[in-house]
Amino acid sequence: MTDSYRRSGDEMPQDRPYAYGDDDHGHNGHGQYGYGQAVPPPPSYTPGTPGMPGPAPHEPRRTVRRPIALIAAVALASGLIGGGSAALLAGATRHVQQDSAGTPLVNAGKTSGSGVSGVAKAVSPAIVEIKSRTASGESTGSGVVLTGNGEIVTNNHVVAGARTVRVTFSDGSRKTAKVVGTDPDKDLALIKVNGAKGLTHATLGDSDKIAVGDGVVAIGSPEGLTGSVTSGIVSALNRDVTVPKDEGQGQQGDPGDRGGWPFEFGGNQYNGDTGSSKTSYKAIQTDASLNPGNSGGALINMQGQIIGINSAMYSPSSASSSTAGSVGLGFAIPINTVKADLDSLRGGGSGGGNSGV
């Protein structure tokens, strides 16, 4: 801003007559006002009036418009850059998801496709039915696909002593598999589908982070009903469950076995005799319904992650097929136990491997 009064010794500007009045008010005869005289009030005419001195009215407005135009241009450029960045990030996310063959994580808080239905839709393609034929008959169980090239984890008692192993996928297709390794002490086994590639595989969770009361979903093939889904909660943790590890002992599907896999808990036997060769492990207890054929299938949290491999169940009676079934006492091997044993299973396991055709 300019000063309101003329400084001592300064000459008044000669090119702004409208700002200082005309020659009729205090003019000294030389186009200037004398020392100490106040600056006269502004003229009565509007600057820029035709015939009068001063800049055109549009010039001050042009000075105002320039920064506005500049700000608008910067805002527009920023918007384009921001939009481009968002599009790039979205594209990268889609690319990663398309390249992944794993089951997607499920947001149970969504208003659509959430809860049990969302988990079932996401994980079912990674759960298979397993039929293994032994010298004493045929055993039916379930399995969880771990890798796109056909590695599948299941219970040892599902494939123990198997001569042939056949896998049925959720889309109905069937393939043969071989037993890679077994661990009778943990009731785990690893099989591999012959010539498989690009299979949808499961996402493994962290069983150390689950809590009693957490919602869970079980998927398997009870009584050969492939892809059956049940749900419930984690009802207890670290149950000391004892199961047999002799091959052929209590195989699901064996003639006369209608009560499910025999197991011991608290010194008592359930669903038949566990035999003399047995093993114990810390299990997740769930009230999600498990039935013969669920063994080796998945226990899943509400984010679509595998937290356990279903392995045992209690049935109220092993004598009558009409009363046999789940009463809400099922047990699963924690998935962290499985992850810790994978390298050993890939190398044949503590029980060695045998080749299903």
Q: Which residues are catalytic?
A: 157, 187, 295
Residue type, 307: I
Instruction: Give me the DSSP letters along 158-173.
Output: HHTT-SEEEEE-TTS-
Element (H, E) at 179: strand 174-183
Question: For 29-163, where are the E strands, in sequence order?
Answer: 127-134, 137-145, 151-154
User: For residues 130 and 174, is the Cβ–Cβ distance under 8 A?
Assistant: no
Residue 33 — φ and ψ, nearest 5°?
Answer: -100, 155
Instruction: Give me the DSSP letters along 249-264.
Output: TT-TT-TT--S-S-EE
Beta bridge pairs of residue 279: 243
User: For residues 303 and 106, is the Cβ–Cβ distance under 8 A?
Assistant: yes
d(CA 342, CA 93) in angstroms, rounded, equals 30
Q: Which two tokens mark 257? A: 């076995």
d(CA 39, CA 25) in angstroms, rounded, equals 10
Cβ within 8 Å of residue 131, ≥6 positions away: 138, 139, 140, 165, 166, 168
**What's the burial of 39, exposed, middle or buried (CB within 10 Å: 0-12/13-18/19+)?**
middle
